[in-house]
Amino acid sequence: MNKQKTDLPLIHFENVGLRYGMGPEILRDLTFDIPKKSFQFLTGPSGAGKTTLLRLLFLSLQPTRGLIRMFGRDISDIPRPELPLLRRRVGIIFQEFRLLDHLTTYENVALPLRVRGKDESSYKTDVLELLKWVGLGERINVLPPVLSGGEKQRAAIARALIDRPEILLADEPTANVDPPMARRLLNLFLELNRLGTAVVIATHDLALMDQVEARRMILSEGHLEIHD
């Protein structure tokens, strides 16, 4: 029994569909697993639904039909007040960064812990070490408007990781950076995966995907194909 629980994927989708209101289904019959410590790209043409699928994975959207099981639990059985607790186990990097311009790099990364009422003494060292790891050790007191696109992206990565999630979702993380910075960001994601975090990168950047052999989840016209 314990072995079966250990072998469960982090996330399981079974015949999942999503529509808004009375409109047509945007996503149809999605069935796939996100295994522990896995690395995959989510790709497809613009408008295919990549961001929508990420929102389902992050529990900020509920499916219209089908089964989603996260960390061994059917999400339809989880009381709404418990969802934020489950969501802490999933880190997400938004395409538009969502850094707060009036907070320093350090304060932006620490924010998820601060809003939960944690004492700074319990997380300060972790935040500083994480900022060094993403290459922002010299930029801790800088405000976001002064940061470059690549620096903002790395700050967003650090903020997503501060809660030590079991899975990281990244929405077009290299869209606003040059190719050398894209490679640097990809190496950060690969290193994070080597340390045990499952990673899902939504991207249309074929050059980025060609740099590493990894599973490709391809969305097209609402359907998903998986190439391992």
> What global pTM score does this model have?
0.91
- Number of domains within the chain: 1
> Among the residues of 66-119, which ranges form H helices?
83-87, 105-114
**Can you give the residue range of the structural domain that contains 143?**
104-162
Cβ atoms 40, 200 nearer than 8 A = yes
Kindly state whether residue 113 falls inside one of the protein's structural domains: yes
Residue 3 has what pLDDT?
Answer: 47
Whether residue 146 is contained in a domain is answered as yes
182 domain-assigned? no
Q: Is residue 111 part of a domain?
A: yes
Task: Give the DSSP per-residue string, 128-192.
Answer: HHHHHHTT-TT-TT--GGGS-HHHHHHHHHHHHHTT--SEEEEESTTTTS-HHHHHHHHHHHHHH
Residues 45-63 have pLDDT tens digits of 988 899 999 999 999 999 9
Of 59, 9, 6, residue with least CA distance to 169: 59
- The answer to the question of residue 75 being in a domain is no
* Calpha distance 88→147 (Å, rounded): 27
125 within domain boundaries: yes
Residue 170 confidence (pLDDT): 95
- pLDDT mean for each 10 residues of the chain (228 residues): 66 96 92 97 91 94 95 92 90 91 97 92 94 94 95 94 94 88 92 95 93 95 93
Does residue 117 lie within any of the structural domains?
yes
Return the pLDDT at 5.
56
Q: Give the pLDDT score at 178.
A: 87
Question: Is residue 128 one of the residues assigned to a domain?
Answer: yes
